[in-house]
Amino acid sequence: MGKAEANKQHKRESLLNTAFELFTTKGINNTSISDIVEAAGVAKGTFYLYFKDKYDINSKLVVHRATMLFDSALERMHQQDLTDPKDRILFVVNDIIDALTKDKVLLMFISKNLGLGFSRFMMESPSVTGEEPVVEATKEFLKDIGGSISDPRLMMYMIIELTGSSIYSAILYDQPVSIEELKPHLYAAITSIIDQFTIK
C-alpha cells in the first residue's frame, strides 16, 4: 500500500541522510551503527532491513551523491547553447567545480571515497556499488564529441583525473593557490589536452 511504502522510503532516506551527516562529521571509522540509528530515530534492527552494514550504506551514499552532482551539471549544460565539444567539456568541469566549491562537505566526502577511482566511476559500469549509473550520460557525452577526437575515453580520463585531483586542495585549503587562481591554468591545461587529442 502507498502509505506503508512511503514510510519505508522515508526510513531509508532518513538513514541515508543521517549516515552522510555523521560520516562527514566524525568519519566512517568513528561512526557506529548505534550512532546512525539513534540520530535517525529508528530502532537498531531497522538499519539491517535496509543496509547490510556500515560500508554498504556508505557506498550507496557515494553513488547517490556523485550521480546527482554529475547529472545536474549535464542538465545545466544541455540548457546552454553549446556546440563546440571543448566548450561543453569546460562548461561541465566549471559547473562541477562551482558546485563543489559551494558544498565542501560533499567535496570531501566524494574525494575520500572515490579518490583515484573518480574517473572509473564516471566512465564505467559501477558494478561494485550496484546502483543506476552515470554511465549512460557519459556515453552520450563521449558520442557527441566522438567525431573529432582520436581517443575520447582516454582524453576524458586524463581531464577528469587532472581536474579531480587538483581542485581538492585548492578549494579546501587554497593550496597551492585558490580555486579561482587555479581555474585559468587548469582550463589551459585541459584545452591543451583536448588539442592534443583532436584530429586535425
Partner DNA sequence: GATGAATGAGCATTCATTCAT
Partner DNA sequence: CATGAATGAATGCTCATTCAT
Q: Tell me which residues touch a copy of itself (CB under 8 A).
A: 29, 111-112, 115-120, 123-124, 151, 153-154, 157-158, 161-162, 164-166, 168-169, 175-177, 182, 185-186, 188-189, 192-193, 196-197
User: Is 15 an interacting residue with respect to DNA (CB under 7 A)?
Assistant: no
Look up residue 10 and give its DSSP letter. Answer: H
Selection from DNA, a copy of itself, none that 139 binds (CB < 5 to 8 A by kind) is none
User: Is 125 an interacting residue with respect to DNA (CB under 7 A)?
Assistant: no
Q: How far is the CB of 58 from DNA (least distance, A)?
A: 11
Residue 121: Cβ-neighbour burial (10 angstroms; 0-12, 13-18, 19+): buried
Q: How far is the CB of 108 from DNA (least distance, A)?
A: 21
How is residue 32 written as a grid cell?
Answer: 557506529
Q: How far is the CB of 21 from DNA (least distance, A)?
A: 16
Selection from DNA, a copy of itself, none that 44 binds (CB < 5 to 8 A by kind) is DNA
Q: Dihedral sign for Cα 47, 48, 53, 55, please.
A: negative
Listed in sequence order, the DSSP H helices in 103-178 are: 104-114, 118-123, 135-144, 152-173
Q: Distance between CA atoms of 131 and 191, rounded to whole angstroms? A: 33
